[in-house]
Amino acid sequence: MDNLVYLVPLFPLLGFLINGLFRKSLSKGAIGIIGSGSILLSFIVSVVLFSEVRSGGGFVSNLFDFINVADFQIPFAFQVDALSALFLLIITGIGFLIHLYSTSYMHDEPAEHFGRYFAYLNLFVFSMLLLVLGANYVIMFIGWEGVGLCSYLLIGFWFKNNNYNYAAKKAFVMNRIGDLGFLLAIFWLLNKLGTATYSEVFDLADTLSPGDVTAITLLFFVGAMGKSAQIPLYTWLPDAMAGPTPVSALIHAATMVTAGIYMIARSNVLYSLSELTQTVVAVVGLATAILSATIALYQNDIKKVLAYSTVSQLGFMFLALGVGAYTTGVFHVMTHAFFKALMFLGAGSVIHAMGGEQDITKMGGLSKKLPVTTWTFVIGVLAIAGFPFTSGFASKDEILIATYAHSPVLFYLACFAALLTMIYMFRLMMLVFFGGFRGTHEQEHHLHESPRPMTIPLVILAILSLVGGAIQFPEMFGGHPFFNEYLSPVVPAEAHEIENIHTVEWALFGGTVVALIVVYAAARKFFAVKAFDGTYTGIKKVLADKWYIDELYDAIIVKPLNALAGFLKSGIEKFIDGIVNGTGRFVNYSSRQLRLLQSGQVGSYVLFMVLSIVVLFIVFWHQQEIVGFLQKIF
């Protein structure tokens, strides 16, 4: 099994190299087979490793010493256990479906760009696998940076559009802020414990002072805020919609944004030692969930609604981690991967049918022309809204129960965020698929269902969104915590000490059903309509304009930094250029004057010789006075 683990990241790496180097000579069919096939092979190996882990066969495999100086060592090692094996399945399984979908969605791209796209996708998956498989924080950080680089390349894939390039740069810069926190946390660990290997760090965690633990975990959380788009580093994720839609699905469901959740779940031993950090994680997660949900209420871009939905759901995951329910947070990562990948790919199918249109005010009534896309998307909406017995119902119910056990105040706020989720998702569903068509006559004429390579992934993800939560339904419905038991060797499950827990769960279930009925009826009345202009005033406009957070960042960060850069360019750079250019001009001028001495006239040379002899005599006879004079000066 030790040798098998290297195949998991090796296949995507080979796919990246082949498609990247030979993209100009390979056909689109060959590129698609290489790109998708490499991920499928990784998925098959991941299934084998998962089976091995389930039977109690977790292991650490050392490849070589990455750093070996005196008694300080950082091995390049992979760790396969319950947590990493689960993420391998999510990354390669969902990743393969997205690759398959891309073979059709990106088929209109020229062959060279088609190959570049799949090379980037393969590199993205490789980096994420490296992040998850690493047996220490240094290897995790290498994958962490690789994921950031690939997101930059894919968000700016259509690099001739400057707005897309700006979105790519924004994602890159905001992630670097978080990465700095991650890096400082690693240095802190190395300084205090002399190791970054998980097993050694967790064994020595009790020897750290409370201040060290809090500082290290907070710095790690800064890294997670950047990668997983939490307040205040969340604004890059909605702008990342500039990339192709399958890329959005990959970033939002299977890679990148789940990295922060994985890192904290992996570091649960450290986080459990710092109550302050846990509180910060919970509060930031809940605030992000509510803020992004309010923004999603009035967005008119189908991908922007889903993007803010992702930010909100990530907030729920951090809330779970913050209240100590680590397995619940990971459980929501899995279910969210199913229904969010489904909805992003469904959105891609809608955009494909609408000829590139993303404005939901110009859609409507698509259920008649796109039946597969419609009903799979509806399943995704039901799952994220927490419809009973869907995957989202199981994981979100667990988060709310865990939050109630920790703090009733946080619980009610989380319920409010869940209610907002229902509202904006039902609004989106009604405006896109029901009511009357609001686009142009030409768009309506060309509406058609997507080809099978695009609809097959939708159907598979819809099935997973429906039944994926069955692995851990609430006990009152006859469920059993299989998921918690599976993760228990790595991530302990929190025992909820709630009196009358079944009463709380029934109340939550009843409230969810009532809310779903009311929201559905209201959404059908107000959004399944023939005419919808999507313009807002007052507080609705504030929400539609995203609370003006981007404008605030521009005012207090971007513009001052640009002004400083302008000053450095016009002031400091001119000063340095002046020194360099002045030196050159001085040498040039001096050369022009000295060459006059070479006049070719013998009389001038004799005169200079006589004068030089006179000067030498003067120096010889008055050297004491000259030396004294120079000493007075210097």
Task: With CA atoms as reference, report the closest residue to 380 among 302, 460, 465.
Answer: 465
**Secondary structure class of 58 (helix, strand, coil):** coil
pLDDT over 90 percentage in the chain = 78
Neighbour tally for 269: CB within 10 Å: 17
pLDDT of 414 over the 80 cut: yes
Per residue in 416-471, pLDDT (tens digit) is 999 999 999 999 999 999 999 999 998 898 899 999 999 999 999 999 999 999 99
Contact between 131 and 14 (Cβ < 8 Å): no
Task: With CA atoms as reference, report the closest residue to 331 among 249, 283, 402.
Answer: 402
Highest mean pLDDT among 160-169, 209-218, 598-607 belongs to 209-218
3-state secondary structure 478-539: CCCCHHHHHHCCCCCCCCCCCCCHHHHHHHHHHHHHHHHHHHHHHHHHHHCCCCCCCCCCCH
pLDDT-based confidence at 399, cuts 50/70/90? very high
What was the pLDDT predicted at 446? 87
pLDDT of 501 over the 80 cut: no
Per residue in 26-39, pLDDT (tens digit) is 999 999 999 999 99
Of 142-156, 365-379, 612-626, the poorest mean pLDDT is in: 612-626
pLDDT of 500 over the 80 cut: no
pLDDT of 604 over the 90 cut: no
Of 162-176, 550-564, 598-612, the poorest mean pLDDT is in: 598-612
What was the pLDDT predicted at 498? 67
What was the pLDDT predicted at 589? 93
pLDDT of 255 over the 80 cut: no
Distances (CA, A) of 66 to 134, 258, 316, 497: 12, 26, 36, 45
Mean pLDDT of 281-292: 97
pLDDT of 493 over the 80 cut: no
Mean pLDDT of 554-579: 88
pLDDT of 634 over the 90 cut: no
Mean pLDDT of 260-275: 95
What was the pLDDT predicted at 495? 67
Mean pLDDT of 233-262: 89
pLDDT of 1 over the 70 cut: no
What was the pLDDT predicted at 272? 94
Per residue in 52-99, pLDDT (tens digit) is 998 887 899 998 999 988 888 899 999 999 999 999 999 999 999 999
Per residue in 178-218, pLDDT (tens digit) is 999 999 999 999 999 999 999 999 999 999 999 999 999 99
pLDDT over 70 percentage in the chain = 99
Per residue in 233-246, pLDDT (tens digit) is 999 999 888 889 99
Of the chain, the end-to-end C-alpha distance in Å amounts to 77
**Secondary structure class of 25 (helix, strand, coil):** coil
What was the pLDDT predicted at 622? 86
pLDDT of 496 over the 70 cut: no
Contact between 101 and 453 (Cβ < 8 Å): yes
pLDDT of 5 over the 70 cut: yes
pLDDT-based confidence at 568, cuts 50/70/90? confident
Q: Which helix (DSSP H) or strand (DSSP E) does residue 67 occupy?
A: strand 59-69
CA distance 311 to 336: 11
pLDDT of 40 over the 80 cut: yes
What was the pLDDT predicted at 547? 95
What was the pLDDT predicted at 71? 81
Per residue in 148-158, pLDDT (tens digit) is 999 999 999 99
More confident site: 53 or 570: 53
Q: Could you give the dihedral angle defined by the CA atoms of residues 415, 421, 426 and 428, in that order, rounded to the nearest 10 degrees?
A: 170
Of 9-23, 274-288, 465-479, 589-603, the poorest mean pLDDT is in: 589-603
CA distance 459 to 99: 15
Burial 274-297 (b: 16+ CB within 10 A, else e): beebbebbbbbbbbbbbbbbbbbb
Task: With CA atoms as reference, report the closest residue to 86 among 60, 124, 58, 61.
Answer: 58
**Mean pLDDT taken over the chain:** 92
Contact between 143 and 132 (Cβ < 8 Å): yes
pLDDT-based confidence at 252, cuts 50/70/90? confident
pLDDT-based confidence at 573, cuts 50/70/90? confident
What was the pLDDT predicted at 497? 65
Mean pLDDT of 331-338: 95
What was the pLDDT predicted at 476? 82
